[in-house]
Chains A and B, each alone.
Chain A
Amino acid sequence: MARRKCILLCELIALCSLTVGCSSVGVKPWQRELLSRQDMRPAGNGLDEAIDDHMYFSKEASSGGRSFGGGGCGCN
C-alpha cells in the first residue's frame, strides 16, 4: 500500500511540476515544425491505439486513461 501511495504521490508531483512550470516553458509559433508532425500529436496513431485499446479492454481489468472509453464490447 505504501508503494502505491508513493507512485500516486510521484505522479501528482509530476502533474504539479508541469502545472507550475507551464508559464515558463514553451516555444514560439515558428518553432513548432517538429511538434506539428503526425507522430507527435496526441492520438496521432488513432487507429493503432483504438485497436490496441479494444484488445487490452477485453483481456485486462484496467482500460482508458488516455481519453474517454465507451462503445466497447460486452466482454466486461
Chain B
Amino acid sequence: MQLGADAGSLRRRLIAASCALLGSSAARAGQGSFTEQLGRLMEDWKIQSALAYYREDGRIQAIEPVISAVRDLSDGGKLALNFTFDSLSGSSPNGALPSHVAQTFASPSAKSLASARHLYTISPGRLPADPHYSDARVAGGADWTLALSRLTRLNVGGKFSYEDDFYSATVNAGVEQDFNDKNTTVSLGVSSENDFLQPIGGAPAPLSDYSLFQKGGHETKRGQGLLLGLTQVMSRNWLSEVNLSLDRFSGYLNDPYKLVSVIDAAGDPAAYVYENRPGSRTRRSVYLDNRVAWERASVGLALRYMTDTWGIHSDTAQFRLRWWAPGRDQYFEPSVRWYRQSAADFYRPWIAADSAQENYVSADSRLAAFHALTFGLKYGIGLTDRLGGIGRQGAEFNVRLEYYQQTIQNGPVAPAALQGLDLYPSLKAVLLQIGFNY
C-alpha cells in the first residue's frame, strides 16, 4: 500500500513535472515563434541585395538600391521577385551643340522662355545640359516557373516601372524543354510591353521650333518580343548558351526632351527644333554566352550582335574571370566589356539652316556611332562560416567597381565657326556597388 501511495504520489509529481515542462516549452515556443518563423522564411528564400552608386563625369549621378528574392518550390518550380528604386540627379544633355556664344534654354516645365521657372545659360564651349534634371524610378517584377513535368517548365512573369513622366508594364511567358538527359534545354518566350509617357510640360510637336513651345499631352508606346534560346552542357565544366531575339516597338519613340541645333551659315545656333524618330523600330539580335569552370576559377565570354531598322548595328563582347582564393571563401572577378555601334540613319549632330527639312532627325548622342569600354573588378567574401549560428550556404558580401568610357566618332565636317569646340564629348562614368546575398 505504501508502495501504491508512493506510486500515486510519484505519478502526480510526474504529471505536474510534465505539465510544467510542456508549459515552459510552450512559453519558449511563444517567445521564439517570430524568430523561428523568420528563420523558416529566410530558409525558404534566397535573398540578393545591392546598393549601387553611379556617377558620370559632370553629368548624371544615381543611387540604386535593388533587392531580389527567389524561392524554390516543392514541385520543382520557382518564384522570383525583385524590386528596384532609382534616384537620379545632375545635368542631362539636351541634344544641342556647344557654341562659341552663350546659349540660354528653359527647363521642360516652362510654357515660354519668358515665364520659365528655370532658365539655364550654357557658357561658350560647354555642352548644353539641363542642370536641374531630377528623377526617381520605382520598378518591380515577378517571375513564376511552373514545372509541368520532369523535363518541361512553363514560366510567366511581369514587370512594372513608374516615374513621374513614364509608366511601363510588361508581361512575358515562355516554355522550356529539356532534352538529351537534361544536357540540352530549348526555350521559347514572348513578351508584351505597354508604356505611357507623360513628358513634363507636355510632349513637344516633332520638329517644332523649340521657342514656340508647341506641346501636347501624353503619348504611348508598345513593344512585343520573341526570344528563342538554346542552352547546352558541352562538358562537365563547359556551358554554352545561344539566344535569338526579335522585338518590335511602335508608337512614340522620341525622347521628348531632346533638341537639335539649327546652324546658320556662320556656324552659330540660329534655332533649335525638337527631334523626331520613326514611329516603329524592329531589332534582331544573336547572343552567345560560354562559361567554363575549374576548381578555383571560372571564365565567361558573352558576344552579342544586334541590328535594327533604324540602321544601327552593334557588337558587344564581355569577358569575366572569377578567381577563388585558397579555401574558396573569397573571390576576385575582373571583367572587361567592349561595345561599338553604328549611327542611326537619321542621326544628325546639327541641321544646316539652309538644308531641306528631313522627316526624321535626332542629335541624341546615344544614336551616334561610338565605341565604349567597361573595366570592372568585383570582390566577394563568403559569410557562411562568419555569421555564426545564422550563417547559411551562399551567404556573401561583395563590392564591385566599374569604369565606363564612351568615345563618340566624329560626324560630318563642322563649319568653320564650330572649329575648336568639342562637338562629340566622351562620357566617363564610375559605378560602385555593395551587395549582400543571404
Using a CB–CB cutoff of 8 Å, the interface residues on chain A facing chain B are 4, 7-8, 11-12, 14-15, 18-19, 21-23, 25-29, 31-35, 37-40, 42, 46-48, 50-52, 54-56, 59-62, 64-76
Judge if B122 is at the interface, Cβ distance under 8 Å: no
Q: Indicate whether A70 sits within 8 Å of B168 (C-beta atoms), given known contacts A25-B183, A26-B184, A40-B293.
A: yes
Task: Tell whether, in the assembled complex, residue A70 and residue B66 are in contact, meaning their CB atoms are under 8 Å apart.
Answer: no
Judge if B352 is at the interface, Cβ distance under 8 Å: no
Q: Which of B68, B181, B289 contacts A66 (CB 8 A)?
A: B289
Task: Tell whether, in the assembled complex, residue A76 and residue B254 are in contact, meaning their CB atoms are under 8 Å apart.
Answer: yes
Having A26-B184, A33-B236, A59-B366, one finds 4 other A-B pairs with CB under 8 Å, namely: A34-B294, A51-B52, A71-B159, A72-B161
Judge if B375 is at the interface, Cβ distance under 8 Å: no
Task: Tell whether, in the assembled complex, residue B293 and residue A35 are in contact, meaning their CB atoms are under 8 Å apart.
Answer: yes
Give A7 to B300 CA distance when docked, in angstroms: 20
Q: Indicate whether A15 sits within 8 Å of B48 (C-beta atoms), given known contacts A60-B372, A65-B245, A71-B161.
A: no
Q: Which of A8, A26, A37, A68 contacts B305 (CB 8 A)?
A: A8
Give A46 to B81 CA distance when docked, in angstroms: 12
List chain A residues, Cβ under 8 A from B310: 61
Give A48 to B46 CA distance when docked, in angstroms: 16
Task: Tell whether, in the assembled complex, residue B293 and residue A55 are in contact, meaning their CB atoms are under 8 Å apart.
Answer: no
Task: Tell whether, in the assembled complex, residue B232 and residue A70 are in contact, meaning their CB atoms are under 8 Å apart.
Answer: no
Q: Which of A21, A26, A70 contacts B159 (CB 8 A)?
A: A70
List chain A residues, Cβ under 8 A from B402: 52
User: A23 CB to closest chain B CB, in angstroms?
Assistant: 6
List chain B residues, Cβ under 8 A from A54: 64, 84, 86
List chain B residues, Cβ under 8 A from A38: 394
Chain A residue at minimum C-beta to C-beta distance from B196: A74
Give A62 to B340 CA distance when docked, in angstroms: 10
Chain B residue at minimum C-beta to C-beta distance from A7: B305
Task: Tell whether, in the assembled complex, residue B68 and residue A61 are in contact, meaning their CB atoms are under 8 Å apart.
Answer: no
User: 1/0 contact trace for B156-182 toward A, CB 8 Å?
Assistant: 010111010110111010000001111
Task: Tell me the dominant secondary structure on chain B's binding face.
Answer: strand
User: A12 CB to closest chain B CB, in angstroms?
Assistant: 7
User: 1/0 contact trace for B288-309 toward A, CB 8 Å?
Assistant: 1101011100101011111110
Q: Indicate whether A42 sits within 8 Å of B435 (C-beta atoms), given known contacts A15-B244, A18-B230, A76-B254.
A: no
Give A20 to B281 CA distance when docked, in angstroms: 33
List chain A residues, Cβ under 8 A from B169: 71
Task: Tell whether, in the assembled complex, residue B241 and residue A73 are in contact, meaning their CB atoms are under 8 Å apart.
Answer: no
Interface of chain B residues 169 through 226 with chain A (CB within 8 A): 169-170, 172, 179-184, 189, 191, 193, 195, 197, 223, 225
List chain A residues, Cβ under 8 A from B241: 42
Task: Tell whether, in the assembled complex, residue B433 and residue A48 are in contact, meaning their CB atoms are under 8 Å apart.
Answer: yes
Interface of chain B residues 295 through 353 with chain A (CB within 8 A): 295, 298, 300, 302-308, 310, 312-316, 322, 339, 341, 344
Interface of chain B residues 100 through 158 with chain A (CB within 8 A): 137, 139-141, 157
Chain A residue at minimum C-beta to C-beta distance from B140: A71
User: A38 CB to closest chain B CB, in angstroms?
Assistant: 7
Task: Tell whether, in the assembled complex, residue B243 and residue A27 are in contact, meaning their CB atoms are under 8 Å apart.
Answer: no
Q: Which of B86, B236, B241, B245 is most buried by chain A, counting CB atoms within 10 A of its CB? A: B236
Q: Which of A23, A34, A68, A76 contacts B172 (CB 8 A)?
A: A68
Q: Which of A11, A31, A51 is most buried by chain B, counting CB atoms within 10 A of its CB? A: A51
List chain A residues, Cβ under 8 A from B379: none
User: 1/0 contact trace for B24-54 toward A, CB 8 Å?
Assistant: 0000000000000000000000001110101
Give A13 to B314 CA distance when docked, in angstroms: 19
Q: Indicate whether A40 sits within 8 Å of B378 (C-beta atoms), given known contacts A15-B230, A59-B406, A74-B195.
A: no
**Lowest 3 CB-CB distances: which A-B pairs, in order?**
A26-B183, A70-B170, A74-B166
Task: Tell whether, in the assembled complex, residue A68 and residue B225 are in contact, meaning their CB atoms are under 8 Å apart.
Answer: yes
